[in-house]
Amino acid sequence: MSITEILFYFLSALALGAALMMVTSKNPVYSVLWLIVVFFAISGHYILLNAQFLAIVNIIVYAGAIMVLFLFVIMLMNLNADNEPQKNKWLKMAGAVAGGCLLLVFVAALRQSETIAMQAVNTSGPTGLIRRLGMVLFTDYVLPFEIASVLFLSAMVGAVVIGKKGD
């Protein structure tokens, strides 16, 4: 086994274990911390795929900024087990059925993954470099990129208007 395969299996086991701990953790703060571990493991996978830019963006944006916001929101909500309403059996049953349906979708997707992997095209060249991403982004996809920029700007303006106190 090569070092790449060992790293892949280690990162996969880390991501799956941390995701399981995130879901089963009773404390929401611990769940957020386990989710940060999942994001770091996924960033490791991006590095193995030679996508360094995506790995850094994943760490900075998701593991850094968004998870800190989640952590602050959870801490501000002051979640206690005392005041949490008890869930009835029908709600638990609906959750189990929804989880089972999601499991079926995953199994169906994994059954066809071997066929899709055979059809994957191996592109040669600098696949994970920022220069190539920038060239494609600002030549082929410049219009969608600018539209997304305007949408983000309008969302920020809307958030400021909604958050502004009435005078």
The chain-wide mean pLDDT, for the chain, equals 81
Find the CATH number of the domain harbouring 34: 1.20.120.1200
Residues 76 and 146 in one domain: no
* Residues spanned by the domain of 160: 126-167
Mean pLDDT, range 73-83, rounded to an integer: 66
Asked if the model's pLDDT at residue 117 lies above 70, the reply is no
Six-digit token string for 131: 């220069």
Residues 105 and 75 in one domain: no
Residues 12 and 58 in one domain: yes
The listed range with the strongest mean pLDDT (9-18, 128-137, 156-165) is 9-18
Residues 23 and 68 in one domain: yes
Residues 21 and 68 in one domain: yes
Closest CA to 62 of 44, 45, 40, 77: 40
In whole angstroms, how far apart are CA 47 and each of 12, 13, 127?
Answer: 13, 16, 11
Residues 117 and 130 in one domain: no
Could you tell me the sign of the dihedral formed by the alpha carbons of 151, 154, 156, 158, in that order?
negative
Asked if the model's pLDDT at residue 122 lies above 60, the reply is no
> What is residue 129's DSSP assignment?
-
Mean pLDDT, range 88-105, rounded to an integer: 86
Question: Is 85 part of a structural domain of the chain?
Answer: no
Number of domains observed in the structure of the chain: 3
Question: Is 106 part of a structural domain of the chain?
Answer: yes
Question: Is 148 part of a structural domain of the chain?
Answer: yes
What is the pLDDT at residue 47? 92
CA 86/CA 98 separation, integer angstroms? 19
Residues 32 and 45 in one domain: yes
